[in-house]
A and B are shown apart, each in its own frame.
Chain A
């Protein structure tokens, strides 16, 4: 009890006074204030030492063919154990093992009651009506172009409280624990199962309680969807979280809305912030996986670069612009007011797109042997026709904090931004990761709430390990960019939700060598990054400020027994081969584009006023899901100006299509667009004037194929929730009716009228 009291004393002092946390902890460090974790004492380490546990690698969801038969024996979602906890884990696994049932429907399935209507009746209130699916009913949120893009495959998962993994998905891994490095004897075999893995960041730390962490399935490792471009997917997302709103161990909402960032998905499946669903329901997300420009470009599906691996060495060609092919995505919660808390709590999965050009199979019809070949042959593996992950590794990087009991902690009151003091990689604390002495691709996602990273890979002696960046925000660039370079020694600053794919060649290092992934970017609060710390100061231990600056992961180089057949990114630098050229756009099209301006900041520019976005010089607003701030007409070029003026950093995310950065400026002065953005399609645009960013960005974008209600927001999710978030609708030419606004409830979803701003146009 004494320790709990002193915890609260320190905690109160930290929050109440904005004190030096360092001095509260008795340290002599720091002339500067580092209130990290934000408003809480440092996270205890329970005697754990770095580099003593292997990194968790992502576990594949595994897609299956959509069943064509009905299911007479399928059981319903298992019941809750109480108002404050979800179903029994084993029962949930049995349920998730069943085939998809009931069959998906075009409009929301409201013919059946919520699985948990009786429990909701006793825990909350008796329900006169309810629906098994939480998608808003009727025409407005029906799946667009359903018969055209009828899902071929599906997967299902339940958002659920933390529990031990029972190996549910062992049989659904593409590698089958039988191929390449995942076979017995391979680097990543790991016993051939995920059974027995707990939700725990290090073996020395306590296991997370059921309501401290909520993940897909409720289990670790974090989950990965392996999808093929052009193969429509249905994701049935069950909400198996507690019915009681109080059962959250201090943060997180039990209502959720899932956004596939930055899929070219119809609005009803985009995770609109007000289209959330309740415990005891599912939501069918329909992800058509089409290339942008499908309706206007390559309409004969004749381009061999537009397509997906057919599983037998061929490519199934599809319509659309191959230059719009996407590669590294993630999906996460988008619940109004609670996105930060829910994503932090575990509602985040990654998603790799496989395609003709990015097949996940090296050495096979490679572009580097013949420019007419589509397959870029990034490091991956050779066992499977597509989706080899032997040398293609997803890294989810996020800062966290936990309380004295080791349970995950979040400060819900600090809306400037929340920082953790410990950086986890794939939810593991300072892990090691065995690699072969060959090229690897890492798909790095910044999955933080408010923290930006700047990463470098270094030797134990502190020398930089060179690498190439090949994709920005999940989109393969025109040219690979080598680091270090004249513009940047380290990987550039990576804002929240940005993805950087890099290729590292470990063959330069002898087996036995240890290398480190290091974060160099200092925050002293959640408003934005402050400075890049010199590598030498970090490695020498001279730097003692932000506790999240430093080494976060160790690579252990092992002998390479195979042959590296992956592309050499140096051959794709500027002046060399091209990976994916930018889609062309004419000067006339740029000149004719519709301009819109979005100012991200606080009303009247003062700290005392709420977060807002101002559209086209109009009123500065925070979020009202009824309000349509912009309504572009589909398939027309637009130029969006994203401005900031408050000196705080905002990683702005625009849903649905990628844009290209036309210019950057800082307080009115033009800045060069760096090489890693010049040939890149982006979906997150950093503004605010921090390191590696100006105050303002101008970008070119257009919205195609699907209509409806989308969003644009600051991806510092504490800013988003409170409330730098706006709604824009993609409309047909001449469309005059705004899609109504869904109002979700246990009893079903209602609609209210939407309100077009003068700027909607």
Chain B
């Protein structure tokens, strides 16, 4: 019974052994389990470099025996990747110190030539990425192979804007892998990583509380929805700065025309050298506000939502 228990714990992925190959499995009950088809024979054991220049083998060191999230980024990406990274930061925040222990997060560079370990470190500092979330770079062909093996469409370095924005989450020990999207609620991703993929071994109750804390459910406006899904990754309302500034009173402190354009095309304003935009970027770790691809009407809805809150707060 003892050996069976050890096996099951391993299978459930509760024990994660960073940097180590999986120990030899305990004897299998007769006829019950085949070899996991999504293991060593499936995933290439290519060598990658982390942000500190350490060499990690993809199968042995990165995924074996672990619950992982994997996405693909490049550090000079200006459209969707910042939102990806900001969303993942929130996932990391929800999981707290379990990241690096129960759950391992990886972002792999699609632009290895540019994204040296040093560049990755700079990027992580900009976003204030905490421990347990590793950035990786490597040979371009290897990275493309990894993308394909994880069920993503591979892109080459010349076409990076077309890259597949999915997250892959999985538990190598149980062979369960799921494709999810950067646009999902961070709470859902945290629950998937921190609970479901661990055979529901942690208690659901803490997750339940943080989800309810995540928000009002009475506001059905589109502006609120856009705020919740697009802005909240980097901003709070009245709870202090996150990656970007606290948005409380923003509709009072900025002229409407400026604010509207800033939300719609921050990249162009920065390129033009708009003084307010440039100052903001300097103040927030040189992290550029991303172009979220919002339509004019959507920008207006977000501003309307923020103005309502500002007016309520003033009452």
Q: Which residues of A contact B (CB under 8 A)?
A: 8, 11-12, 15-18, 81-85, 122-125, 209-212, 242-251, 253, 255, 278, 337, 403, 405, 407, 409, 412-415, 603-604, 606-610, 618-619, 621-622, 624, 626, 721-723, 738, 743-747, 750-758, 760
Asked whether A245 lies within 8 Å of B29 as measured between CB atoms, the reply is no
A746 near B4: Cβ-Cβ < 8 Å: no
A150→B173 CA distance, assembly (Å): 45
**Residues in A neighbouring B31, C-beta threshold 8 A:** 85, 209-210
**Residues on B facing A (Cβ under 8 Å):** 1, 4-5, 7-8, 11-12, 28-29, 31-34, 36-38, 41-42, 145, 148-151, 153, 155, 162-166, 171, 173-181, 183-185, 188, 191, 195, 199-205, 207-208, 211-212, 215, 217, 220-222, 225-226, 229, 293
A247 contacts which of B1, B33, B148, B203 (Cβ < 8 Å)? B33
Instruction: Return chain A residues, CB-CB under 8 Å to B34.
Output: 209, 211-212, 249-250, 405, 407
17 A-B contacts (beta carbon < 8 Å): A81-B32, A83-B5, A84-B11, A210-B32, A211-B32, A253-B176, A412-B175, A415-B179, A603-B181, A604-B293, A619-B225, A622-B184, A723-B180, A745-B195, A751-B208, A756-B217, A758-B220
Please tell me if the beta carbons of A758 and B36 are within 8 angstroms of each other in the complex: no
- The reply to whether B204 and A122 form a contact with Cβ atoms under 8 Å apart is no
Q: Known contacts being A413-B151, A752-B208, is A82 close to B200, with CB within 8 Å?
A: no
Out of B162, B166, B188, name the residue touching A606 (CB < 8 Å). Answer: B162
**In contact, B32 and A247 (Cβ under 8 angstroms):** yes
* A412→B11 CA distance, assembly (Å): 18
CB distance from B45 to the nearest CB of A (A): 12
When distances are taken between beta carbons in the complex, the residues of chain A under 8 Å from B293 are 604
Given contacts A8-B41, A246-B175, A608-B163, A413 and B28 within 8 Å (CB-CB): no
* Closest chain A CB from B143 CB (angstroms): 13
| Nearest A residue to B41, CB-CB | A8
C-alpha spacing A8/B188, complex, angstroms? 34
The distance in angstroms between the C-alpha atoms of A335 and B34, with both chains bound, is 23
Is there contact, CB below 8 Å, between B217 and A754?
A: yes
When the two chains form their complex, are residues B204 and A745 in contact, meaning their CB atoms are under 8 A apart? yes
In the complex, are the beta carbons of A16 and B222 less than 8 A apart?
Answer: no
Q: Give the contacting residue for A82; candidates B29, B185, B199; CB below 8 A.
A: B29
Question: In the docked arrangement, what's the CA distance between A11 and B43, Å?
Answer: 11
Q: B225, A757: Cβ atoms under 8 Å?
A: yes
Across the interface, A610 reaches (CB within 8 A) one of B11, B173, B181, B217, namely B181
A608 near B149 with CB under 8 A, answer no
* Set of chain A residues within 8 Å of B153, measured between Cβ atoms: 607-608
- A-B pair number, CB within 8 angstroms: 187
Q: In whole angstroms, how far apart are the Cα atoms of A249 and B33 in the complex?
A: 6
Which A residues touch B150, using CB under 8 A?
Answer: 413
Complex-state Cα separation, A84 to B36, whole angstroms? 13
CB atoms of B164 and A608 under 8 A apart: yes
Cβ of B33 and Cβ of A246 under 8 Å apart? yes
Report the nearest B residue to A618, measured CB to CB. Answer: B222
Query: Cβ of B11 and Cβ of A245 under 8 Å apart?
Result: yes
Would A84 and B222 be within 8 Å (CB), given that A122-B5, A244-B199 are in contact? Answer: no
Interface contact B33-A745, CB-CB below 8 Å: no
Is B37 in contact with A250, judged by CB distance below 8 angstroms?
yes
In the complex, the answer to whether A756 meets B220 with C-beta atoms within 8 Å is: yes
> Contact at B221–A758, with CB atoms within 8 Å?
yes
Q: Which of B174, B191, B208 contacts A246 (CB 8 A)?
A: B174
Residues of A within 8 A of B188 (CB): 624
- Which residue of chain A has the shortest Cβ distance to B197 in the bound complex? A245
Closest to B163 in A: A608
Chain A residue nearest to B5 (CB atoms) is A122
CA of A211 to CA of B195, assembled, Å: 23
Q: Which residue of B lies closest to A606 (CB)?
A: B162
CB-CB < 8 A to B184: which residues of A?
A: 622, 624
State A85–B191 Cα separation when bound (angstroms): 26
A745/B29 contact (C-beta < 8 A), A412-B38, A606-B162, A755-B217 known: no
Residue of B nearest to A754 (CB): B217
A607 to B162, CA, bound (A): 9
Contact residues in A for B205 (Cβ distance below 8 Å): 750
**Contact call B8/A124, Cβ cutoff below 8 A:** yes
CB of B126 to closest CB in A, whole Å: 25
In contact, B151 and A414 (Cβ under 8 angstroms) = yes
* Bound Cα distance A81, B12 (Å): 18
Q: Say yes or no: B32 contacts A245, CB within 8 Å.
A: no
B28 near A84 with CB under 8 A, answer yes
Which residues of chain B have C-beta atoms less than 8 A from A209's C-beta?
Answer: 31, 34
Known contacts A415-B179, A609-B165, A622-B183; is-contact A244 B8 (Cβ 8 Å): yes
Is the pair A211, B33 in contact by a Cβ cutoff of 8 Å?
yes
Indicate if the CB atoms of A745 and B11 lie closer than 8 Å.
no
Is B29 a contact partner of A81 (Cβ separation < 8 A)? yes
Additional A-B contact list (9), CB under 8 Å, known A210-B31, A603-B183, A610-B179: A11-B42, A16-B149, A83-B4, A124-B8, A212-B34, A244-B8, A415-B151, A610-B165, A745-B195
Instruction: Determine how close the nearest CB of chain B comes to the CB of A527; give it in whole angstroms.
Output: 13
Contact A242 B32 (CB under 8 A): yes
CB–CB A745/B211 < 8 A = no
Q: Looking at the complex, which one of B5, B171, B181, B185 makes contact with A123 (CB distance below 8 Å)?
A: B5
The distance in angstroms between the C-alpha atoms of A746 and B203, with both chains bound, is: 8
A84 touches B33 (CB 8 A): yes
Residues from chain A with a CB closer than 8 A to the CB of B29 are: 81-85
Judge whether B211 and A83 touch: CB under 8 Å.
no
Partner of B179, one of A253, A409, A722, A744: A722
Please indicate the chain B residues that have their CB under 8 angstroms from the CB of A251 in the complex: 175
In the assembly, what is the distance between CA of A299 and CA of B170, in Å? 53
- Bound state CA distance, A737 and B131, in angstroms? 41
Q: Are B185 and A624 in contact (CB under 8 A)?
A: yes
In the bound complex, residues from chain B placing their C-beta under 8 Å from that of A83 are 4-5, 7-8, 11, 29
Q: Are A413 and B177 in contact (CB under 8 A)?
A: yes
How many angstroms between the C-alpha atoms of A15 and B31 in the bound complex? Answer: 28
Cα distance A413–B220 when bound, in Å? 36
Are A245 and B5 in touch, CB under 8 angstroms? Answer: no
How far is B32's CA from A81's CA once the two chains are assembled, in angstroms? 10
Asked whether, in the complex, the Cβ of B171 is within 8 Å of the Cβ of A245, the reply is yes
Contact status B32-A250, CB under 8 Å: no
Given known A15-B148, A84-B32, A624-B185, contact A247–B11 (CB-CB < 8 A)? yes
Complex contact A245–B12 (CB within 8 A):
yes
Q: How far apart sit A624 and B187, CA to CA, in the bound complex (Å)? A: 10
Query: Does A82 contact B222, Cβ atoms closer than 8 Å?
Result: no
Smallest CB gap from B223: residue in A:
A758
Q: Are A752 and B183 in contact (CB under 8 A)?
A: no
CA A124 to CA B207, docked complex, whole Å: 18
Are B149's CB and A750's CB within 8 A? no
CA gap between A128 and B258 in the complex, in Å: 56
Bound CA span A82–B1, Å: 9
